[in-house]
Amino acid sequence: ILNVEQSPQSLHVQEGDSTNFTCSFPSSNFYALHWYRWETAKSPEALFVMTLNGDEKKKGRISATLNTKEGYSYLYIKGSQPEDSATYLCAPGMGGFKTIFGAGTRLFVKA
Amino acid sequence: GAVVSQHPSWVICKSGTSVKIECRSLDFQATTMFWYRQFPKQSLMLMATSNEGSKATYEQGVEKDKFLINHASLTLSTLTVTSAHPEDSSFYICSARGPGGFTDTQYFGPGTRLTVL
């Protein structure tokens, strides 16, 4: 059973705070890792895809890093805004051609 | 980004009836489509993966005869919940991916809320 863990489960921050969360996955048979953002009543939206150990991606105030050897990825949000409130999902592509989603980190940003 | 539509967005049906959910990629060719189910307060659970023109690959524990998946073209996949029962009530969401494999982004539909009475 492939186990993808995301922590924390939920996070409450104030506007302007920087925050980060973690995605852990089995390091064997790794192909790629995706991060998605899922706002309530909308479709999950792709943020990043990373494939190489040490990859770093950035999109505005959001960035992500990848460590394939130890099986984790971090997502960082700098200067959180209320519109960043959403569930952030990571999805590693593993052996067997499956993409498994973590349970997500629910971020609440208070103005 | 690419757009994936899903129809209907919500449906209420009687126990024993069948319900069909459509997933369309509107502006790209979806080599692979995925169907997920989300239980309350849980993550997306992959039900099946389908490639255009071939039979869907179902995940362990998902009944093939219960959840019929057809991926007849590069832009359309359908999920039919046959003889639906209240325990099938859930949020179903599809996604579509181009030919790039794992490194290609999955584009999601908005989901379908199914309620079986």
Query: Contact B80/B72 with Cβ under 8 angstroms?
Result: no
Number of Cβ within 10 Å of residue B33's Cβ equals: 29
Answer yes or no: do B1 and A104 touch at CB < 8 A.
no
Report phi then psi at B52, rounded to 5. Answer: -50, 130
**C-alpha to C-alpha distance for B96 and A22, rounded to whole angstroms:** 26
* Residues from chain A contacting residue B4 (CB–CB below 8 Å): 43
* Residues from chain A contacting residue B93 (CB–CB below 8 Å): 43-44
Residues of chain B contacting A, Cβ within 8 Å:
1, 4, 34, 36, 42-44, 46, 49, 93, 95, 101-111
* Residues from chain A contacting residue B108 (CB–CB below 8 Å): 36, 43-45
* Residues from chain B contacting residue A98 (CB–CB below 8 Å): 46, 49
Radius of gyration of chain A (CA): 13
Pairing assessment for the beta strands B76-81 and B90-97 based on DSSP bridges: unpaired
Beta bridge partners of B91: B38, B113
Query: Contact A71/A2 with Cβ under 8 angstroms?
Result: no
Confidence at residue A3, expressed as pLDDT on a 0 to 100 scale: 82
**C-alpha to C-alpha distance for B4 and B19, rounded to whole angstroms:** 20
Answer yes or no: do A49 and B42 touch at CB < 8 A.
no
Size of interface A-B (CB pairs under 8 A): 51
Answer yes or no: do A97 and B102 touch at CB < 8 A.
yes
For residue A32, how far is the Cα from the chain centroid? 13
pLDDT in tens, B26-78: 988 888 899 999 987 778 899 999 888 888 999 999 999 999 999 888 899 99
DSSP symbol at B105: P
Residues 6+ apart with CB under 8 A from A83: A109
Answer yes or no: do A89 and B44 touch at CB < 8 A.
yes
Based on DSSP, count helices (H) and strands (E) in chain A, helices before strands.
0, 11
Answer yes or no: do B46 and A99 touch at CB < 8 A.
yes
Both tokens of residue A82?
A: 């209320």
Average pLDDT rounded to a whole number, residues B74-101: 92
Report phi then psi at B103, rounded to 5. Answer: -80, -10
For residue A30, the chain B residue with the least C-alpha distance is B102
Q: What does the pLDDT profile of chain A (111 residues) look like in tens digits?
A: 568 999 999 999 999 999 999 999 988 878 889 999 999 888 899 999 999 999 999 999 999 999 999 999 999 999 999 999 999 999 988 765 567 889 999 999 999
Split at pLDDT 50, 70, 90, the class of B1 is low
DSSP symbol at B56: P
Answer yes or no: do A103 and B42 touch at CB < 8 A.
yes
Confidence at residue B68, expressed as pLDDT on a 0 to 100 scale: 95
Query: Contact A87/A11 with Cβ under 8 angstroms?
Result: no
Question: Nearest CA of chain B to the CA of A17: how many Å?
Answer: 26
